[in-house]
Structure 1
C-alpha cells in the first residue's frame, strides 16, 4: 500500500511512517509534504496514492485547501493535536482521525477500520458519504479544545482554584495523586493520572511514566539514561527519579520539539 503524508513536523512524519510499517511492512511512504503548496503540486504530478495521512495544520494553511484544489479519490486519515470533542464530524465524514502524539494502538484501529470499509465496498455496499470540507473547517475553527483550565484543591480548611498554567507536574504517591504548583506547593487531587491525561492539553503535559505527568516548562535538564531511556530534572525538584521509558522517548522528543 502506497501512502502519502501531509505533515510539517519531520519527527512526527518519521514516527508515523515507522508505525505504519510496524502495522504492515508493505506500507510504503511515497513522500512527506509540509505545505499545502507542496501537496497540491505532488498530487497534480503523480498517480493517486492508496491512502493519505493529513495533518490539519500545515505550514501555509489548513490541509482542507488541498482537497478543494485537487480531486482526491483515495481514503484520508486526519492527524491533529486538537482533542476529540472538537472533531465530532471527523468520525462521520472521513475514514478516521488520530490525535497527537500518535500511538500505535490508535493507528492500528484506524487501519483496521479502513480494511473493513474496503471489504464492504468490494462486496457491493454503498460508498461512504463525501467529506464536507467546509463543514469540517468551520467546526474545527469555531470550537476550542475542551481541556480543563483549573483544578479545585484543598488548602487547609479552605478550597482554592489552581490554574492549569500554574501546574508544574502531577505525580502519584501510593494511592494519592498530587498536583505540584510552580511554587512547589503540593495538593491532592481527585483524579488518577490516566484521567488527568485526558483532561489537560497534551501539547503542554506529557505522561513521562506511570507515576509522572509533567508540564513542558517544568523540564529543566534531560539526561541520557540506561537502555535508551531519559532521566529528567524537574522544577520544582523532587527526590524521586523521573525516567522516560525507551518506548516513550521518541514521543517525548517529538513533544518537546513541537
Structure 2
C-alpha cells in the first residue's frame, strides 16, 4: 500500500505544529507536510508538487479565506476542514468534505476523522471521493458571508407588461432547451432569465435544493421521496413535474442534511 501523503494548511504556526504532532502520533507511517498558512504560499506549493491524498485545511488563512486556495488549485485531495466556526454553521461541510474539526482540535475527534477517511478510501478510492470544488466554493462563500441577502422576487415580462413573482410562491424551477422556468404552487409557469446555476447562488439554500441538472426544488414542494434503481431516489413534488425528479446516489447525503435542517 502506498504511503498516505497529508498536508496541513494552518494560519497559526503553533496550531499547525500541534496538529502535525497529533497526526504523527496517530499515523506515524504517513508522510505529513505543513504548508504556509496563506493562500499564496499554499497555491505555490500545490503548483510545484503532486497533490496529497488528504488536506487538513483551515478556513481562515492569513491572506484570505480558503475558498481562494480551492479556486486556484482545484485540489484533487480529500479535505478535512479545521475551523473556529460554530458547529451549526459548519456542518454543511460534511456534505462535500470528509469531516470538520473545531478548534482547539481534540485528539479523539481527529482520530475519528482519520478513520472515516481510511474507510472511504478503502471502499471507493481517492479518485471518486475528491471534493467537488464548485460546491465547496459555494459553501465557503456562504459561510464567510453570513449576512448574505438572498433573492426574494423576480421581475417578469409578459403580455406587454411587467409584474413581480415572489420567490415564496415558487415550488420549483426547471431547465428545458436552455430556458429556465419557474413553476408556482398553483402550477403556473414563468420564464426566468437566469440559469439554474445562477439561481442556486441567489436563492436561500435552506429553502431550495439542486436535485439534478434539470431541477431546483423548494423544500415546501416536496410531497414524497421514493427509492429508485442504482441507489437513486425520486422526489415527488406538488404541483407534479412532468418528468421524474431523480437525485443521484452521490447527492442523497447532501439532500438528507438539507431536509434535516
State TM-score, norm by structure 1.
0.52
- Superposed, 1:26-105 pairs within 5 Å as 26-105=29-108
4+ residue stretches of structure 1 with deviation over 4 A? Answer: 124-129
The CA distance in 1 between the partners of 2:66 and 2:146, in whole Å, is 18
Deviations 1:24-64 (A, max 9, x none): 11122223311000000000011111211110001100111
Aligned residues: 143
Contact 2:56 2:79 in 1 (8 A): yes
Could you tell me how far apart the structure 1 residues matched to 2:131 and 2:59 are?
A: 20
Measured on the aligned residues, the alpha-carbon RMSD in Å equals 2.2
Cα distance change, pair 81–127 in 1 and its aligned pair in 2 (3 A) = closer
Unpaired runs of 5+ residues, structure 2, are: 148-261
Q: Specify the alignment match of 1:23 in structure 2.
A: 26
> Are 2:138 and 1:130 aligned?
no
Distance 2:44 2:127 in 1: 33
Once the two structures are TM-superposed, the CA of residue 126 in structure 1 deviates from its matched residue by 6.1
1:158-199 CA distances to partner (integer Å, 9 max, x unpaired)? xxxxxxxxxxxxxxxxxxxxxxxxxxxxxxxxxxxxxxxxxx
Alignment of 1:207-226 (within 5 A): none
Consecutive unaligned residues of structure 1, counting only runs of 5 or more, are 145-258
Aligned counterpart in structure 1 of residue 10 of structure 2, from 7, 11, 21: 7
Taking the aligned partners of 2:130 and 2:66, their CA distance within structure 1 comes to 21
Q: Distance in 2 between matches of 1:45 and 1:125?
A: 20
Measure the CA separation in 2 of the matches of 1:74 and 1:128: 5
Q: Give, in angstroms, the shift of residue 127 of structure 1.
A: 4.5
